[in-house]
C-alpha cells in the first residue's frame, strides 16, 4: 500500500515537471505563463496540483491552448475568489473535462437559502473576543464586553468577513446558475472543498467567517493580504501582505495570528481549508504580478455591465486579451 502511495506521488511530481517544461513554450514574461506556473506551485492539495499539471500538458498540445487555459482559470477561479463586484463570465477551454455534479435546480434552491444571517456579526464577534483577529482592535459597539479596553487605543468598526466571498452564492438571474456551477466545479477540482458543505445557510457558518476591521477586510477581499497556515500549529497562521505599506505599521507582514474560541463546539474556528484556498489564490495573484491587472479588469467589467449577455461575453473576451497584453507590457517595463 505504501509503495503505491509513493509511486503515485512520484507520478504527480513527474507530471508537474513535465507541465513546468510545457510552460516554456510561452515567453518568459508572459502573464499567462506566470499565472499557470503559480497555480502549479501553490495548488493547495496534491489533487489540485495534479489537475493543474494535467490541464497544462493537455492545453500545450493545442494552438493557443495555454493562453486559453490561463483565461479559464482567471475567470473560473481567481476572479470569483476576489471579493466585491460581479464575476465575469467563465471562459471555457477544450482541455477541461469538468463534471458539474450539482444541477441548476439544486443550486437555485441552495442559492435562495444562502442569505446573510443578521446575527452573524454578533456570533463572530463573540467567538473572536470582540476584536479584529489581525489588528486586535476592539469593536466599538461592544467595548463594554472588552475588559481590557484602553480608550487611548480607540475603538473601530469591524466586519464579519466571509473567507470564501458571499458572491459565490449569489445570482443575478437564471443564466448565472451555470456559471456558478462551473466555478464551484473548478474550486472542487483545485481543492477538496465541496459545494454541498457550504450550500444554503452553511455559507454563513462561523467556519467561513472571521472578524476583520475595515481596512484589513478590504485588502483581504482584494487578495492583497492572506493567512498562511503554520504546518505544525492548526490554529496559527502567518499574516502576509503583498506590499509592506498596506495597513501601515498597524500590522506587519509575518505577524502571527492565532485563532481561539470561547467554545469551539458552539462557536467553531475558521476552516483551515477555506483560509488555505484564499491564501493559495492570493499567492498566485501576487507571484504572477496580476493585482493591477485584476483591478483594471473588474473596474472595466463594472463599466460594461449594462450590455446584453451576448455583447458582454464578447466584450469580456476582448478585454481579457487587452488586459493580459497590458500586464505583459507593465511587467516588461518594471524589469528594465
Task: Tell me if residue 30 falls in helix, strand or coil.
Answer: coil
CA dist 44 → 49, 156, 257, 283, 325 (Å): 7, 34, 20, 11, 28
Q: How confident is the model at residue 150 (pLDDT cuts 50, 70, 90)?
A: confident
Q: How far apart are CA 198 and CA 109, in angstroms?
A: 13
Q: Is the pLDDT of residue 25 over 90?
A: no
pLDDT score recorded for residue 302: 60
Burial 176-197 (b: 16+ CB within 10 A, else e): bbebbbbbbbbbbbbbebebee
- Asked if residue 153 lies in contact with residue 140, where contact means CB atoms within 8 angstroms, the answer is no
pLDDT score recorded for residue 301: 59
pLDDT score recorded for residue 300: 66
Which grid coordinates are listed for 24?
516554456
Residue 86 DSSP label: -
Mean of the per-residue pLDDT values of the chain: 79
Question: H-helix or E-strand containing 229?
Answer: strand 225-230
Q: Is the pLDDT of residue 332 over 50?
A: no
pTM: 0.80
- Asked if residue 16 lies in contact with residue 25, where contact means CB atoms within 8 angstroms, the answer is no
Q: How confident is the model at residue 171 (pLDDT cuts 50, 70, 90)?
A: low
Q: How far apart are CA 239 and CA 227, in angstroms?
A: 5
Model confidence pLDDT, tens digit, residues 185-214: 889 888 889 888 888 888 889 999 999 999
Locus of grid cell 451555470: 178
pLDDT score recorded for residue 325: 46
Model confidence pLDDT, tens digit, residues 86-138: 444 445 454 444 444 445 555 555 554 444 556 889 999 999 999 999 999 99
Amino acid at each position: 500500500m505504501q509503495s503505491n502511495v509513493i509511486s503515485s506521488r512520484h507520478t504527480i511530481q513527474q507530471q508537474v515537471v513535465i507541465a513546468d517544461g510545457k510552460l516554456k513554450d510561452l515567453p518568459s514574461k508572459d502573464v499567462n505563463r506566470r499565472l499557470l506556473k503559480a497555480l502549479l506551485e501553490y495548488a493547495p492539495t496534491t489533487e489540485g496540483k495534479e489537475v493543474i499539471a494535467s490541464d497544462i500538458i493537455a492545453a500545450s498540445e493545442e494552438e493557443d491552448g495555454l493562453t486559453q487555459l490561463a483565461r479559464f482559470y482567471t475567470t473560473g477561479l481567481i476572479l470569483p475568489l476576489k471579493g466585491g463586484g460581479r464575476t465575469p463570465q467563465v471562459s471555457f477551454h477544450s482541455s477541461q473535462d469538468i463534471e458539474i455534479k450539482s444541477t441548476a435546480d439544486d443550486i437555485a434552491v441552495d442559492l435562495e437559502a444562502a442569505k446573510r444571517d443578521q446575527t452573524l456579526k454578533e456570533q463572530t464577534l463573540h467567538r473572536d473576543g470582540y476584536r479584529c483577529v489581525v489588528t486586535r482592535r476592539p469593536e466599538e459597539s461592544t467595548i463594554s464586553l472588552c475588559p481590557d479596553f484602553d480608550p487611548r487605543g480607540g475603538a473601530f468598526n469591524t466586519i464579519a468577513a466571509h473567507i470564501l466571498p458571499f458572491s459565490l452564492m449569489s445570482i443575478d438571474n437564471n443564466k448565472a446558475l451555470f456559471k456558478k456551477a462551473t466555478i464551484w466545479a473548478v474550486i472542487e477540482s483545485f481543492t477538496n472543498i465541496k459545494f454541498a458543505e457550504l450550500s444554503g445557510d452553511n455559507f454563513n457558518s462561523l467556519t467561513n467567517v472571521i472578524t476583520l476591521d475595515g481596512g484589513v477586510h478590504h485588502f483581504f477581499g482584494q487578495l492583497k493580504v492572506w493567512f498562511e497556515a503554520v504546518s505544525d500549529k492548526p490554529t496559527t497562521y502567518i499574516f502576509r501582505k503583498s506590499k509592506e505599506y498596506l495597513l501601515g505599521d498597524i500590522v506587519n507582514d509575518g505577524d502571527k495570528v492565532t485563532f481561539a474560541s470561547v467554545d469551539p463546539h458552539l462557536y467553531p474556528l475558521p476552516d483551515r481549508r477555506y483560509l488555505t484556498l484564499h491564501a493559495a489564490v492570493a499567492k498566485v495573484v501576487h507571484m504572477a504580478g496580476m493585482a493591477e491587472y485584476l483591478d483594471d479588469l473588474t473596474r472595466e467589467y463594472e463599466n460594461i455591465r449594462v450590455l446584453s449577455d451576448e455583447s458582454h461575453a464578447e466584450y469580456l473576451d476582448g478585454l481579457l486579451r487587452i488586459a493580459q497584453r497590458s500586464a505583459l507590457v507593465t511587467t516588461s517595463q518594471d524589469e528594465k
